[in-house]
Amino acid sequence: MNEFCTEIEIQASDTRVWQLLTDFANFPSGTPLSAGQKGKPRLEYMGKTVPTFICTLWSRQRTQVAVGYQSQSFDKGDIHMNINIQNTMKEGNMKITAPNLIRWAGLSAIVAGIIFIAGLAAAIAFGGPTSPPAMASISNPFDTVDFSGLPPLLRYTAGDGTALAYRHYGPASGTVKGSVVLVHGSSANSNSMHVLAKAFAAAGYDAYALDIRGHGASGTKGRIDYIGQLEDDLSAFAGSVLLTKPATLVGFSSGGGFVLRVAGGPRQDAFQNYLLLSPFLSVDAPNARPGGGGWVNIGLPRIIALTILNRLGIRAFHDLPVTSFALREEAKKILTPTYSFSLAANFGPQRDYEANIRAVHRPVAVVAGTADEAFMTDKLEAIFLKQGQPWPVTLLPGIGHIALTLDPGAVKAAVRAVEAFPQ
């Protein structure tokens, strides 16, 4: 019969340890691994009855082993105590020894690791998004937009040397009130900001509409190189273009979430004011609708797997798509139908959107419509107030998500919000 010894250090008094060791009434329930027992305590040691019995352990084989506490030695004092426990274990003709136990534990860990890796691989390979049916309320409103007068694309050079695109709308009047930089929503490009940009230019602002990297004419559609590259690109833009102050960064939908990311980040002083138009906050935020009301399909298994790998420093699969948008087939050639993991993680607020909100120190205003299909906009004000930000929230009756950027009354509300900032 093979034996092994285990030394355990317990921070407890000797009285408490003896109480637990000799609490036979609670065996086997007092032993987490024990599923049953037979036999009675029968060994006397140092005036105490020591248990020697057969117990059934929770295991795949429900192994029956004999356990006998054959010696106990204590150091004086109530803080540290060493217990030397000599266990003799045997099952039929199969001897259970310490090396075997270690071997079994190692094998279990290997099997668990293989299952974990296989699960990650399956999630990465097969857990991507599917294409949702086209969402008419998002796509159709642009069919009637007059894009005449659309300025030509200009270029600035990003930190990695890539030429990124934007459009400039010069102010209608001779006196410039300031500058406004517009960030479009998910899947879109600078064209979608045309109506808003014209309104700001007519009001006396230098207006700029960006093609965010991964959209329009900036970079590869649906992809960026790393999380944080969009902030680097914005800094490069601000360094390339002379922005008349006060400069306001305006973002719509996912672009509004990205503007919030900047407003709560270390570069927030690059702009004097921030305007959020129906901003995306998080899929877990109180204002979120499942799937953005039908606008987006999320490959959640792939996102979870890539998030785990990202925390381990593995970024080899960040180019894989994790979100897909409800675009018409003809629009997929012009817009961005999917986002990679990096782009989806970067084009929005920080993961902890509440901390992101709390970190903002610049003036912020919010405008949204009450008929928004993508978000529950009536919850926005409470979300910001909960984080100590009493930002003015203007809700426009009957205005939907895309209408916020196209409806004349909604566009005027956005201009008024910028004009209300400190000049």
Q: For the ranges 111-120, 243-252, 390-399, which has the lowest average pLDDT?
A: 111-120
Question: pLDDT at residue 275 above 70?
Answer: yes
Question: pLDDT at residue 30 above 90?
Answer: no
Amino acid at the residue 407? D
What pLDDT is stored for residue 120 in this prediction? 86
Please compute the mean of the pLDDT values over residues 100-110 and round it to a whole number.
Answer: 68
What pLDDT is stored for residue 100 in this prediction? 59
Dump pLDDT digits (tens) for 51-64. 433 333 333 333 33
| Average pLDDT score, the chain | 82
| Residue in the block written with tokens 């930000």 | 389
Please compute the mean of the pLDDT values over residues 393-417 and round it to a whole number.
Answer: 98
Model confidence at 98, pLDDT cuts 50, 70, 90, reads low
Question: pLDDT at residue 108 above 80?
Answer: no
Dump pLDDT digits (tens) for 322-349. 999 999 999 999 999 999 999 999 999 9
What pLDDT is stored for residue 99 in this prediction? 61
Please compute the mean of the pLDDT values over residues 270-277 and round it to a whole number.
Answer: 98
What pLDDT is stored for residue 119 in this prediction? 85
Dump pLDDT digits (tens) for 126-139. 899 999 999 999 98
Contacts of 260 (CB under 8 A, 6+ apart): 251, 274, 276, 279, 281, 349, 353, 356, 357, 360
Q: Please state whether beta strands 321-325 and 338-340 pair in parallel, antiparallel, or not at all (unpaired).
A: antiparallel
In terms of pLDDT, which residue wins out, 91 or 339? 339
Please compute the mean of the pLDDT values over residues 183-187 and round it to a whole number.
Answer: 98
Nearest 10 degrees: Cα torsion 100, 102, 108, 110: -120
Per-residue 3-state assignment (H helix, E strand, C coil) for the chain: CCEEEEEEEECCCHHHHHHHHCCHHHCCCCCCCEEEEECCCCEEECCEEECEEEEEECCCCCCEEEEECCCCCCCCCCCCEEEEEEEECEECCEECCHHHHHHHHHHHHHHHHHHHHHHHHHHHHHCCCCCCCCCHHHHHHHHHCCCCCCCCCEEEECCCCCEEEEEEECCCCCCCCEEEEEECCCCCCHHHHHHHHHHHHHCCEEEEEECCCCECCECCCCCCCCCCHHHHHHHHHHHHCCCCCCEEEEEECHHHHHHHHHHCCCCHHHCCEEEEECCCCCCCCCCECHHHHHCEEECHHHHHHHHHHHHCCCCCCCCCEEEEECCCCHHHHCCCCEEEHHHHHHCCCCCCHHHHHHCCCCCEEEEEECCCCCECHHHHHHHHHHCCCCCCEEEECCCCCCHHHHCHHHHHHHHHHHHCCCC
Q: Give the pair of three-digit tokens for residue 25.
A: 């009434």
Model confidence at 66, pLDDT cuts 50, 70, 90, reads very low
What pLDDT is stored for residue 97 in this prediction? 52
Residue 172 and residue 202: Cα distance in Å, rounded? Answer: 5
Question: pLDDT at residue 20 above 60?
Answer: no
What pLDDT is stored for residue 344 in this prediction? 97
Q: How far is CA 94 from the centre of its chain?
A: 50
Please compute the mean of the pLDDT values over residues 164-179 and round it to a whole number.
Answer: 93
Please compute the mean of the pLDDT values over residues 351-379 and round it to a whole number.
Answer: 98
Please compute the mean of the pLDDT values over residues 215-230 and round it to a whole number.
Answer: 97
pTM above 0.85, yes or no: no
Cβ-based neighbour number of residue 327 at 10 Å: 23
Rounded to 10 deg, the angle between the 408-419 and 194-202 helix axes is 50
Dump pLDDT digits (tens) for 234-246. 999 999 999 999 9
Question: pLDDT at residue 380 above 80?
Answer: yes
Residue 124 and residue 319: Cα distance in Å, rounded? Answer: 11
Model confidence at 110, pLDDT cuts 50, 70, 90, reads confident
Q: In what order do the strands lie in the sheet with 34-38?
A: 34-38, 52-57, 64-68
Residue 266 and residue 356: Cα distance in Å, rounded? Answer: 11
